[in-house]
Structure 1
Amino acid sequence: MKLHTIRIANPLLYGIAVGEGFIARKIPINPACFRCGESLETIGHTLLTCPFARAVWFGSSLSQLTSMPTSNKISDWLQCWNPIFSSDKKLAQARFSLASFLLWFIWKAHNDLIFNNKQWSPQQVISMAEKAHQEFSSVVCKPPSVSVEVEERNFPSSLSWTPPNEPFLKINCDAAWVKNSGKGGLGIIIRDNRGFLYMLFLQVPP
């Protein structure tokens, strides 16, 4: 298992290919939003406040307002989930899980537009995200229906998770594969020092 730590203050700030990151890296490219022409394309703009992204959020089953009056940062959007988790953790986890898939497919549609000149409609993004979320939930909530032979390995008798220091996030990831079929899976989870779940991603073979 691999452990990595990142700062909340700059969550993936320059790791995602948007105009803001290109400017920070001194890359001579038009930093405006390719879709709407916003003067500076930020991560928050692309995933939350671009008119296309807004249409996705409002049309989804979350029906969530994504505008942030004081800032346009993913970190501020994440903080808005704290009251929801405080009032109903189980419901919040389900909603945040869906939100994670919406974020991913908004980004996928963004890349398809830029690199393949393919136009997604907001409804297509919602449909694909909710379908993927349902498939994910069915795998997570149900025990495996089939058994497979795996290579025996020695694991520690007890495992414990060590939280990161505030204000850091910790990313845990692991992968496994079935030797005979050549198929494998990947899991990623992001949590803060309180164990608050920021994002969960699971890729499993069909």
Structure 2
Amino acid sequence: MDLLSQFFSVEDREAIEQIRLSINPSEDVLCWGGARNGIFTIKSAYHLLCNQHDQQFSTRATSSHRHAWEDIPSEVWKRIWNIKTLPKVKNFLWRCCANGVASSENLMKRHIPIDPSCSRCGHDPKSIDHLLFLCPIARAAWFGSNLTVGIPVDGPFTLAQLLLHWPCLNFHDKRCNEDVLCLLSFMCWNIWLARNDLVFGIKDWTPEDIISQAQASSTKFLSISRGNTLSVRNTHEAYSIGRQSSPPDSGIIKINCDAAFSLKAPASGIGVVLRDHLGNHIQAASNPISFHEVLLGEALAVLFGLQLATYGGFNNVHIESDNEDLVSFIREPSRPHPLSLRSTLQDIGVLIPSFSVCNFSFISRDANLVAHSLARKALPVASQTFWPVSSPWLLDLCCKDARCFACPPLQ
């Protein structure tokens, strides 16, 4: 550490200290820091130079000439344009983050003589963030929707903040992430339509009206865009059928792994449960471990599960994870992967040959509830915790899991 302080700046030293080293001896490799996978391309170099130019320009700009959208990270804009929703809804979300919507607050800034207070709750002035999230009608709509979003009572809450921290939410697959983002976009859009109908005396929407219209629009859009007529709920159920957990063959130990991350603490942790072909609990562990990417946390959970199997002397294992990307990276080592996963994937690759049988499969979140609960249990604790099967909450979860996925109940 003294050597790092001697030769590197504070920012570089902090970045170096965050590099996760492999537990196995490995050769150093040169990686390109301008790309997420560490591989140099002309495209990544171009984007790096453009970002540096934008940063230099923003630092030269005076505060009096800065706009709100200049402080929004580029990740937010990319996420908006990648949402699977109607183009007009994407444009609306972009205008919301850029503070370019004709809210009462913005109209007053342009010296338009109107009542700036919220037409529903009387809040003064009415900003777009108040309209979308903080107004009581909006709060009720968000909480009553399938998203079940609880808006904080104290402190600001903006659409840009929500989209910026979106990757920290642990979705079990890309399709689920697309479905939730689509519904979120239509919720924002219909809250805005409800506001307009109230202002112009057309209709007074209830939270139930907003929810039903948003969910119907989201379902219709996703069904048409995917070339089928199934609802989002039925589509998700059909998608999950082939990804449910099932008992392993006799003599094979099933290992379920998951990771959890909390923005409030902040805290992170992983959970692992080992069971035999009869569904009998062998070992369950929660491990509070630091990580800043959900995908890295999922990889660390798989590594932890393999280590527990090694310590237990098990030669035949089947590992299940609810992260489809991670399973794909493990199955196809030559596939380009994020640079942050390199050392952890190397450690997993070193352990795999030590087993006679070592298979990996992707399952839905609903089929991974035991490991997910164990990962959540790791957030408030300070060290590894191995849970006895007599723990009432663990016994109850394992029994429910056995009934749902055709495993015999615990004895």
TM-score by length of 2: 0.31
For 1:87 and 1:8, the matched residues in 2 are separated by 33
- Indicate whether 1:100 and 2:162 are aligned: no
1:7 is matched with: 69
1:81 is matched with: 166
Question: What are the within-5 Å matches in structure 2 for residues 47-62 of structure 1?
Answer: 47-62=132-147
2:148 is matched with: 63
CA offset digits 1:11-35 (Å, max 9, x no partner): 5244212122112212222211111
For 1:8 and 1:84, the matched residues in 2 are separated by 25
- Indicate whether 1:118 and 2:203 are aligned: yes
Pick closer, same or farther for the CA change 1:8–1:93 going to 2, 3 Å. farther
Pick closer, same or farther for the CA change 1:77–1:68 going to 2, 3 Å. farther
For 2:113 and 2:166, the matched residues in 1 are separated by 36
1:154 is matched with: none
Q: Choose between structure 1 and 2 for higher RCO, CA contacts under 8 A separated by at least 6 residues.
A: 1
- Indicate whether 1:21 and 2:83 are aligned: no
8 Å contact from structure 1 (residues 20, 40) kept in 2: yes
For 1:68 and 1:74, the matched residues in 2 are separated by 15
* Structure 1 gaps, min length 5: 1-5, 145-206
Greater alpha carbon shift after TM alignment, 71-80 vs 120-129: 71-80
Q: Paired residues, what number?
A: 139
Greater alpha carbon shift after TM alignment, 51-60 vs 12-21: 12-21
The code of the aligned residue for 2:201 comes to: N
For 1:90 and 1:63, the matched residues in 2 are separated by 19
For 1:18 and 1:95, the matched residues in 2 are separated by 26
Q: Give the ranges of 4+ consecutive aligned residues of structure 1 lying more than 6 Å apart after TM superposition.
A: none
Greater alpha carbon shift after TM alignment, 46-55 vs 87-96: 87-96
More helix by share: 2
* Structure 2 gaps, min length 5: 1-67, 73-93, 230-411
For 2:171 and 2:143, the matched residues in 1 are separated by 23
For 2:225 and 2:202, the matched residues in 1 are separated by 35
For 1:125 and 1:86, the matched residues in 2 are separated by 24
1:131 to 216, 231, 245: 216
1:32 is matched with: 117
Q: CA deviation at 1:75?
A: 1.3
CA offset digits 1:119-142 (Å, max 9, x no partner): 111111111111111110111111
Pick closer, same or farther for the CA change 1:90–1:72 going to 2, 3 Å. same
Q: CA deviation at 1:8?
A: 6.0
8 Å contact from structure 1 (residues 85, 93) kept in 2: no
CA offset digits 1:65-94 (Å, max 9, x no partner): 233744233212222323126774432221
Greater alpha carbon shift after TM alignment, 83-92 vs 119-128: 83-92
Q: CA RMSD in A?
A: 2.5
For 2:143 and 2:135, the matched residues in 1 are separated by 12
8 Å contact from structure 2 (residues 69, 99) kept in 1: no
The code of the aligned residue for 1:9 comes to: D
Identity %: 35
For 1:142 and 1:23, the matched residues in 2 are separated by 45
More strand by share: 1
* SS of match in other structure, 2:209: helix
1:175 is matched with: none
